[in-house]
Structures are given as structure tokens and as C-alpha cells.
Structure 1
Amino acid sequence: MSASLLHLGNVNDLREGEMKEIEVEGTGGKILLYRHKGTYRATSNKCTHYGAPLKNGVLTSDGHIVCPWHGACFSAETGDIEDGPALDSLIRYAVHLDGDRIMVEVSPEEVKANRRIPMCKMGQGPVEKGKAVVIVGGGSGGMVTADALREVGYNGSIRILSEEPHLPIDRIKLSKMLQVDVNKLILRSSDYLKDRFIDISTSTEVTKVDREAKVVHTRSGEKVPYDTLVLATGGKPRVLPIEGVKLGNVFTLRHAKDGNAIYKAITSVEGGAKVVVVGSSFIGMEVAATASAIEGTKVTVVGMETVPFARILGSKVGGAFQKLHESKGIQFQMEAALSHLEARTEASDQVGSVVLKSGQKFDADVVVLGVGVAPATDYLQGSGLDLEKDGSLRVDEHFKVQGTEDIYAVGDIATFPVPCKGDMTRIEHWAVAQNHGRAAANAIAGQPMAYEKIPFFWTAQHGINLRYAGSGIGYDNVIVQGDVEGLKFAAFYTKGEEVLAVATIGKDPVATKVAELLRLGQMPTASELKAGKDVLEVSDQN
């Protein structure tokens, strides 16, 4: 790989904390050049998750580059991946100063690749015997736990037990696409896992955890011993206890097979299907948006709130989302409760209509239940582990399960302390699960670090992307900067003078910036925001 020393700028071109995208002549690509604490550095220019331009992100005073779209975090010094949802690291380019000239060692191959597989610090093996991490669950939390263990040098055996028939996938695309080729969603290939001595058993359901014997039991009868156990089984869709819920063409969405089945059911109806989505959750609304784009499909959403997302986003933002969906032809039945489902007259095993408790009835060829998920922890009954009322596991700041020394829980099943606040919460989001996995891996490898990542999630509906950072539980006011009706705004969720969270549309990188300001304890007050303070102009550079 040949590298050339190129003059890509002068020292006065960059202010402290500034990032610029520089075109590299002859390569057809660009790199990211920035100045941090007086040092000039260069990396690849795009986030390794979905390709967001990092020049529009945030460079923090304590040395992190944060993606403007989904909050992935990289080391400003090394380019190494630090927080999800990205998996790969940035390429780091050597920078030299020749007087006032900034010289960068660049190879065309690296510019084209624009990403770097994280280093496996365990060496080339063999795996050390007598050390075994068993991970139950093949979602993003489990996958990243295994990946991160190798990144930090853990050299014991790692085995993932996954009930799904395929390797871990980019699950968040299911509700945004429905019809998927699972092979195109794979997060890490079988060759990648083999090279890192990560063993994965697919189609393997865990039925019991024997803490005394330190053994996991599977449905097939296998007993898998562990030294350290990581529970990452995620959530299971809630199913309403109503008549007719087991009729054909009534679905929940969790796995790739579910999305494909929903898509097939919709497109099999001649002349266009009548689809009813029960629940105005983020998953439900994404499914509604995706289904409405299928030719001839008519979609109705049944929700219990006054408007979608009212509890989390408030009535004003939720109302704007409802209007967006209505503009695409979706109808709403809000403040409504489902009574039962009725079968079709000509096919008694297939759903034909939805009946509300008000007595209102309307036709349905396909029904999708999007009423939330519950922690998938049924297999822990009788294990001696204390489950919270919702079925989750309470963990500490390193994701070690309360009352244990060798069991960790990450993702949807973990009730964890919110960084910077200490309040306990449970968050059902893919990127949050990934970051839990990294924290757990550090602790297991004997390198515990304080979990500081502010919760960050996003949703995409009808081409509109909303970002959310923080934890707005208990907010008592919403401060809006921008135009909610025009879907270009930042809505700050506050309690007294404290800012708890922000939701944004068309205001990148405000959500990313707020997440970092919250983490660093430098977030402006509610009064300052009401007075028009722009968080993007708040410097955390020390």
C-alpha cells in the first residue's frame, strides 16, 4: 500500500475544535482534517455506520468525534470506534507539520476503503483454556459484546447462543423495509467471527440458566458451561390478550421472517390491502409508513394516546408526525382501544376486521401489532436471579447483574443507571444495546470504565428523520426552537431549569451536540434556551 505525503492545508486554516473535509487529488475521495488541543489530525471522512459526513458532527474537548446522524463515537486520536451504532473504526492518517504547511500521509487504497476493521488485540490465538464467556442472544448487544471483548484483548473462549437461524443482523431496518434479504443485513460475516475465535450457534434456544453449576441449558439438551455469562436476549413483542389474535395475517415484528411475512401478506391482496397497525409506537409508525408506500395499500393506525408519541415527544411534536402520516393517506383512530379481531366470512382462519371497544368496526386484510416489547427473560424463571416487575434485570454501571459476580445483562432486558443522573431506566433501542455491550466487555476484560453514553435513538418515517438524545422521563415543559409544523425544529424536554432530552428534525447535529453537552455537564439551562441560545454555539473546548 503506497502512501504519498500531500500538502492538504495550512495551520491557520483550522480553528481549535474545527473539522474540515479535504479532497485528496487523484483519489476521488476525501479525508477529515481537524485540530484538537493544538494538534492537527486526519481520519477518514465518513461515519462507518451509514456514511454520514463527520465534518457536520461534533469534536468534543475530551477527544471524541461524534456522528451527526446517529451518535456513533470515534477516538479523535486514533480513529478507533468507541460507541455504536457503527462497528468499524476510522482510518487514521499520519500528519506532519512542515513550517505552516499541514502534510498528510495518504494512500489511495485507504481513501477508497474509508474504514478500518477494529484491531483484535488477543493476537492470533490459541484461545486460552479455562476462560469462557457465553453470550445468550444474537442481537446487536450480544454481537458487540463479543466484538469488543476481542478489541480489548480478552483471550478466553467466546460463544454466542442465538435462537435466530442466521448471523446477527441490522435489525432496525426491518420496520423500515419489511421485505429484506437477510444476507444483506448481516453485521459480521462468518469468516470475520472465525478469524476472531468467536463461536456462534444459531437456531439455539436457551431454556434455563443453572447458576450453581454455571451451566446454560438449551432446547436441544446441550449443557454449555460458562465462567462469565452475558444475557442479551432483547425484547419479545407484546401480544394483546384479545379474541382473534391468533387468526392468520395477524403479525408482530421482531425477526426478518416476520417482515417478509407481513410484506407477502400485504402484496398478496388483489387490488390493494387494508392494513391496520395497532399501536402508535415507533415500530408501529415505521411499519405504517413502510406499508403505505406499497401500491394500493390503505393503512389505519389505532392508538391509545391522543397523538402518536405523545408520552415521549409531547402533543405538539406527536401531532406534527400524525399530520405527516395523514398527508400520505394514513388514517388514525386515536384514544381508541381494541376489543377483538373477527375472521373473514369466506375464510374463518384469516383476520377480516378490527373491532374497537367503542363498537366501531372496520375491515382489515392484515393486522400488525405494534404495542411494544417486553424483556425476553422467561428462561430465567427459577434461576435465582431477581427480575424487576417488567421482567428486566437490574444492573450496575458496568452492566453486572445485581447480586452476581459473573453475570451481565445488556440491551432491552437491562434496567441500568442513566449516565450523569443515576436514575434507573430501560431503553429499547439497537444502538443503546451496542453501547451496553462495549461497557460490559470492558468490565469482563478487567478494564472497567464508567458508562457515560447518553441514550440516543432515531426513527425514519416517510423520509423524515427524527433524532432523540437524553432521557426525558418526568419532563414538565417543552421548549421549541424552529418550526414544528414544518418539520424543522429542536424540541428540548425540561424539568425546571434542567434540560433532560432533545428531539430534532432537520437540525443536525443538534441532537449529537446536546448528548455531548449533557455528558459533560455543560448543557445550557431552560431559561437560556427560551431566550434563544443556540446549543451549536456552546463550546466545550477547554
Structure 2
Amino acid sequence: MGGGDTKLAGPDLAAGIGVGELGDGATLLGHAHGEAVLVARRGGEVFAIGATCTHYGGPLAEGLRVDDTVRCPWHHACFSLRTGEAVRAPALNPVPCFEVEQRDGKLYVLGKRAPAAKRAPDGAPASVVIVGAGAAGNAAAEMLRREGYSGKVTMVGTDPSLPCDRPNLSKDYLAGTAPEEWIPLRSPDFYKEQNIELRLGVNVERIEPETRNVVFTDGSRLGYGALLLATGAEPIRLQIPGATLPHVHYLRTLADCRAIIARCEGAKKAVVVGASFIGLEVAASLRTRGLEVAVVAPEKRPLEHVMGAELGDFIRALHEEHGVVFHLGHTAKSIDEKVVVLDNGESLEADLVVIGIGVRPNVDLAERAGLMIDRGVRVDAHLKTSSPGIWAAGDIARWPDPHTGQNLRIEHWVVAERQGQIAALNMLGRATLCDIVPFFWSQHYDVAISYVGHADHWDRIDISGNLAQRDATVAFRAGNKTLAIVTLGRDVQSLQAERAFEEGTGKEAS
């Protein structure tokens, strides 16, 4: 999906390279048997894996090697150099792994190595039910099977569509530059082959922890040995006259995105209510489709509460360069068939209105089940809830973050996927701490913004590089501590910041 195959470059590794050409800790891009291959040395070991990230086709040779893994520069997927396994989302598929032979002072990349089968540990639950078929739920189901779990796995979702690549809904797919076949994370055949039962377009009435049952609205019941709650979040609805008119839309599901795209046919003017990441990505996508776009938001700068004044001004200027008109410091008061009326009485023509004013976590099921709630579902360091046999992950989970010392709830796609994977591992008894460093990316036209860490407050913002030239590192600091790093055009620095946060070295901005 996405970037396509890496062009063949570098030496022919099947023909061999000199042992001295690959120093300890070094990586080298080459090719073998018609495929791009990355070779790496760690001490006396030499590894060879496919060089193209299986997420969006990022070039792994331009990423960061950490111990016996390599991380993709685009969206921080992580692969094992030993096996090719995608050990951390957002990549879900492995890259090929090749045999390496050393003889006569040269290294040769031979044929592909078959992946080793895993076996779930004794004591794994008899069955797993996953309530929620989004990022966390899908990643958990896949991880269970990758780890050799052979029990029954059922994934339940209210959305009738297959689990989909939600970040793309506001980006390339909405802009018309990505086909719909990119959007489902997996095909129906994949779930059949993996023996993952999908119950989509259904609603759960309640969870009964005492009997370990999920009860559906039609009265049917489904027992579980272990349960993952991954119910995600829902858009906050705008409560003003006209907010339910047919040309007013929200964006959360594939059906939502299809409806917006259909409305674009024949539309000329759009109003986006809310300068959130979703709102601004929608604005960029609609401009790519040729619509006139106005953005209405109460704040003085877009995203200032997340990214500060300097980045907020940069993002506004970037959108204005592409023709977006901002109406900041204002709110929408009413909507009719052709006009959005603002609180100052101004009227904006609109054939299409998209509302992006935030989301709320879906915690109703957890609350009714008696789970501990703390502005989300409270979980421990292994993502276990207060009820035995129940885990939570994704937008609803509030976990104790070892890096900040806070209890965090983060609404990021990659965080949700990685938490789903961690929850699955813990269900199988593979004690795995949730010690991930939050990461997300946002796309605005041809500018990608990468954010690592978490800063809900800061004392100062330090900028190195040049925002206007789209080559910069922005550090959010409190006292002498770096809380988060934003990069533009500096993918490796973003990876280095992620690694430094993991290690707690205090060198996050270097």
C-alpha cells in the first residue's frame, strides 16, 4: 500500500560483498534475487531482510537500526532483523528474511528463510472476544494468531465495514489520490484463513464479567475466556439548528468518507467546522478535489493547544497558501441548505459541511460492566482492567505511562494498534508492559508532520531549522525535560527522538 516498491539500488548482494564493506552497527542497501534487501551487522551477526516497509512502502534503509530491529522513517513501524517480523505497528505484515553466508572473505545473501511457527503458551484462554473492530481490535486479533494462539477469536464491531485504514480516510482517499482497495486493512479471505470470526454491524448491549458473557442487543450471548474492549471513540455532535441536514457530515468510518466524497460531486463550496487534525486534513483533501474551503474554529490559531503558536501559524499559512480561508475566533450558530451562519452574523456559502470538533471515548459498555472509569477505562501497565479477564486498548484506555509518570489516554492510530498487540500478548501470558512512546503523523498537502512523545503543557518551545522551508525540529519542554518532539522533513530525527524517549536519556531533541 502507498509508496510502492523500493527501486533496486546498491550492490548485488547475491553476488557477494566484501566482509569489510559492512562494519559493526552498519546497514547497507542492496538487492538480491530481484528484490531490494537491507543487510545489517550486529557484532558477529549479519542479517538480511526486505528493504521496503509493508505499511506504506517506506525505505527501511533510510530508517534507524535499534539493536536487532530496524524502524521505518515514515510512520515508525519496526521490524526484526532476525526474522523480518513486523514487531510493532503500524506495519502488520513481515518483510522477507534471507539467509546470509560468509565465505572467502565475502558475504552472500541467499534464498528466503521460512518464518518459524510460534506456539501459544500453556494456560492461554479458551476463547477471546474483541469488542471493537478498529485499530486496536484488529491488531490484537492478528497478534493472537501470529503468536500461535489456536483458540476461538471473535471480533465484534458496530461498523458493517471491514476494519479499515482510518488515517487514510481524511488523507489520500478523501483527496481522491488513493483507491478504495487500499482502505480495508485485510480482505475477507484473510480473516477466514486466520480463523478470525467477524461479527460486524452488530451492537453489544452489555458485558457480564461475572459469567464472562457478551450480550448482544438481540438477546444472544457469546462467552469468552478473555475479553478485549476496544470500542474506540465517536465524533462529538454539533448541537445547533441545521446540524442534521443531509449535507452535514462527520468523518469516522468508511461510510462517512464515501458520503462526503459523493457530496463533493457537483459541490463548489465547503465549510469545515473545527480546526482539529481531522478538520484540517479534510480541508486539505477537499482543496485537492477543487472545492473552495472555509474553516471555522473558536481558537486564535489552528492546533495551538497541541502544537503551540509557531506551528499553529505555520499550519495556517500552509493552508492559506492552498486557498483555505480561516474564520478563527468564531463558532457556527446555524446551518441551512446553502449557508453556515457564524456567531458574528457572517454567512458562509456551503454545499458541503464537515464537522470535526473532537471525539468522545465509548466507555458506556465498560461503565455498565462496573469497570473502573477515569475519563476513559482505567487499566494497569499490562492493559488489564479492574475486572479479571478483561483488557482495554485504544482510544478508551487510560494507562500508567512510565515515561511521563501520568495516566494517559491517547487518541492516536499507532498507539491503538500497538496497545492491541500488547493486550493480545498479555492475554497469552507473555508479560508485556505498555511502555510505548506515543507517535502520530498528520498530512497537509505535501507536508508531513511527525509527533513523538506527549505534551499537554510546556514552559517553552525550542525550534531548530526552518519551518517555512519545511525542515525543522520543534521541542516542547518543561523545565529541563523534553516532553515531545515534532519534526518536518527530518524523519530520522523523529525516530531518534522516539528511541531517546524510550531510553529516558534526556537527549530527545538532539
Q: Same fold (TM over 0.5)?
A: yes
**Aligned residue in 2 for 1:185:** 183
* 1:399 and 2:407 correspond: no
**Aligned residue in 2 for 1:356:** 342
Structure 2 gap segments, 5+ residues each: 1-11
Instruction: State the Cα deviation string for residues 268-313 of structure 1 (Å, max 9, x = none).
Output: 33xxx21111111111111000001123x11001122222111111
Question: Deviation at 1:129?
Answer: 11
Number of aligned residues: 495
In 1, the alpha carbon distance for the partners of 2:483 and 2:284 equals 29
In 2, the alpha carbon distance for the partners of 1:385 and 1:451 equals 19
Secondary structure of residue in 2 paired with 1:134: strand
Question: Deviation at 1:5?
Answer: 8.8
Secondary structure of residue in 1 paired with 2:486: strand
The alpha-carbon distance between structure 1 residues 119 and 238, as it changes in their structure 2 partners (threshold 3 A), is farther
Superposition pairs for residues 474-493 of structure 1, below 5 Å? 474-493=457-476
**Aligned residue in 1 for 2:318:** 324
**Aligned residue in 2 for 1:10:** 18
Which of 308, 318, 328 matches 1:314?
A: 308
The alpha-carbon distance between structure 1 residues 523 and 98, as it changes in their structure 2 partners (threshold 3 A), is farther
In 2, the alpha carbon distance for the partners of 1:240 and 1:19 equals 52
**Which shows bigger deviation, 282-291 or 160-169?**
160-169
**Which shows bigger deviation, 366-375 or 14-23?**
14-23
Secondary structure of residue in 1 paired with 2:284: helix
Instruction: State the Cα deviation string for residues 340-396 of structure 1 (Å, max 9, x = none).
Output: 22x2xxxxxxx322222223222222111101111122334422123223xx10111
Superposition pairs for residues 128-527 of structure 1, below 5 Å? 131-176=126-171, 177-178=173-174, 182-269=180-267, 273-295=268-290, 297-341=291-335, 343=336, 351-389=337-375, 392-401=376-385, 403-524=386-507
TM-score by length of 1: 0.87
Contact between 1:514 and 1:523, CA under 8 Å: does it hold in 2?
Answer: no
Identity of aligned residues (%): 33
Which of 40, 47, 63 matches 1:34?
A: 40
Instruction: State the Cα deviation string for residues 50-104 of structure 1 (Å, max 9, x = none).
Output: 11111111111x3221110101111222221111000011211111222431122
Secondary structure of residue in 1 paired with 2:491: coil
* 1:85 and 2:74 correspond: no
Contact between 2:14 and 2:31, CA under 8 Å: does it hold in 1?
Answer: no
In 1, the alpha carbon distance for the partners of 2:201 and 2:446 equals 35
* 1:22 and 2:62 correspond: no
**Which shows bigger deviation, 378-387 or 149-158?**
378-387
In 1, the alpha carbon distance for the partners of 2:391 and 2:124 equals 21
Contact between 1:129 and 1:157, CA under 8 Å: does it hold in 2?
Answer: no
In 2, the alpha carbon distance for the partners of 1:120 and 1:38 equals 26
Amino acid at match of 1:85: P
The alpha-carbon distance between structure 1 residues 502 and 224, as it changes in their structure 2 partners (threshold 3 A), is same
Amino acid at match of 2:318: L
In 1, the alpha carbon distance for the partners of 2:82 and 2:117 equals 18
Superposition pairs for residues 38-57 of structure 1, below 5 Å? 38-57=44-63
In 2, the alpha carbon distance for the partners of 1:315 and 1:129 equals 50
**Which shows bigger deviation, 172-181 or 227-236?**
172-181
Amino acid at match of 2:118: K
TM-score by length of 2: 0.92
Question: Deviation at 1:122?
Answer: 4.9
Secondary structure of residue in 2 paired with 1:318: helix
Instruction: State the Cα deviation string for residues 488-514 of structure 1 (Å, max 9, x = none).
Output: 111111111211111111112111111
**Aligned residue in 1 for 2:8:** none
Amino acid at match of 1:209: I
In 2, the alpha carbon distance for the partners of 1:223 and 1:120 equals 33
Secondary structure of residue in 2 paired with 1:509: helix
Q: Could you say what the CA RMSD is over the residues aligned between the two structures, in angstroms?
A: 2.2
